[in-house]
C-alpha cells in the first residue's frame, strides 16, 4: 500500500513536470511569436553547455576563409588552422577573427583591421548572428564593391565551414544595422553567395 502510494506520488510528480514544461513551452511559443526573440535567445544562451567536449579544445581544425584577391574583384579561398571546439559558436568566432587578421598569402581582408568579433550565436534554424565592434562600420567608407566583399566574406566564411550555419545576420555592437555603408541590406538573414568567389 505504502509502495503504491509512493509510486503514485512519483508518477504525479512526473505529470507535474510535464505540465510545467508544457506551460513553459507555450510561454516560449508566445514569446517567439510576439517578438520575444531576444529573450528567447538570452534564455537559450544561458542554458548550461554540455560537458565533456572540453578535452578536444587543444585540437586544431582546418577552415576556409574568403578573402579579396589583389588581382580581381572576387573572393578567393584560403585555408587556415584554428583551434577546434567546444561549440560551433566558438569556432565561428575564431574564423571571423582570422578573417579580420587577414591573409597569409598576399590577399586583402575585406574587413577593417581594428574590427573585433564580439559574439557569434547560432540558432537551431541555422541562422548565425555575428556581432562585431563598431569599427566594422566606422573604420571604412564602403563603396558597393567593398561592401559586397565585406558582407559576403563574413557570410560565406561562416556558411562554408559550418553545416549548422545556413544564413547569417551581421550585428554591430549587439544591434541590427541597415547596411555597413549604405548598400547591402542587412535586415534579413543573408545566404552565402558563391558567385562572388573565384573558381
Contacts with other proteins by CB under 8 A lie at 8, 11-12, 15, 18-19, 22, 25-26, 29-30, 32-33, 68, 70, 73, 108, 110, 125, 141-146, 148-149, 178-179, 181-188, 190-191
Return d(Cα 153, Cα 107) in angstroms, integer.
12
CB of 16 to other proteins, least distance (A): 10
Q: Which is nearer to other proteins, 82 or 122 (CB)?
A: 122
Q: Which is nearer to other proteins, 82 or 190 (CB)?
A: 190
CB 148 within 8 A of CB 170: no
Return d(Cα 189, Cα 170) in angstroms, integer.
8
Q: Which is nearer to other proteins, 93 or 192 (CB)?
A: 192
CA 52 to chain centre: 22
CB of 182 to other proteins, least distance (A): 5
Strand partners, 60: 83
52: left (phi over 0), alpha (psi -120 to 50) or beta: left
Q: Which is nearer to other proteins, 6 or 56 (CB)?
A: 6
CB of 68 to other proteins, least distance (A): 6
11 vs 1, 7, 24, 90, 158, CA distance in Å?
15, 6, 20, 41, 46
CB of 96 to other proteins, least distance (A): 17
CB of 11 to other proteins, least distance (A): 8
Q: Which is nearer to other proteins, 55 or 145 (CB)?
A: 145
**DSSP characters over 34-61:** TT-HHHHHHHHHTSPPPSS-GGGGG-EE
Amino acid at each position: 500500500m505504502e509502495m503504491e502510494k509512493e509510486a503514485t506520488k512519483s508518477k504525479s510528480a512526473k505529470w507535474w513536470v510535464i505540465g510545467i514544461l508544457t506551460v513553459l513551452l507555450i510561454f516560449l511559443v508566445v514569446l517567439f511569436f510576439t517578438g520575444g526573440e531576444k529573450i528567447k535567445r538570452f534564455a537559450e544562451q544561458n542554458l548550461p553547455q554540455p560537458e565533456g567536449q572540453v578535452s578536444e579544445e587543444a585540437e586544431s581544425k582546418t577552415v576556409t576563409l574568403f578573402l579579396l584577391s589583389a588581382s580581381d574583384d572576387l573572393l578567393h579561398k584560403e585555408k587556415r588552422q584554428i583551434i577546434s571546439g567546444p561549440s560551433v559558436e566558438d569556432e565561428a568566432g575564431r574564423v571571423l577573427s582570422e578573417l579580420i587578421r587577414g591573409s597569409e598569402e598576399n590577399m586583402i581582408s575585406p574587413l577593417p583591421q581594428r574590427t573585433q568579433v564580439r559574439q557569434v550565436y547560432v540558432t537551431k534554424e541555422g541562422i548565425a548572428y555575428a556581432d562585431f565592434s563598431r569599427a566594422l562600420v566606422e573604420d571604412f567608407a564602403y563603396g558597393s564593391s567593398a561592401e559586397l566583399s565585406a558582407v559576403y566574406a563574413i557570410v560565406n566564411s561562416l556558411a562554408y565551414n559550418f553545416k549548422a550555419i545556413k544564413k547569417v545576420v551581421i550585428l554591430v555592437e549587439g544591434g541590427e544595422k541597415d547596411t555597413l555603408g549604405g548598400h547591402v541590406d542587412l535586415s534579413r538573414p543573408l545566404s552565402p553567395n558563391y558567385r562572388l568567389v573565384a573558381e
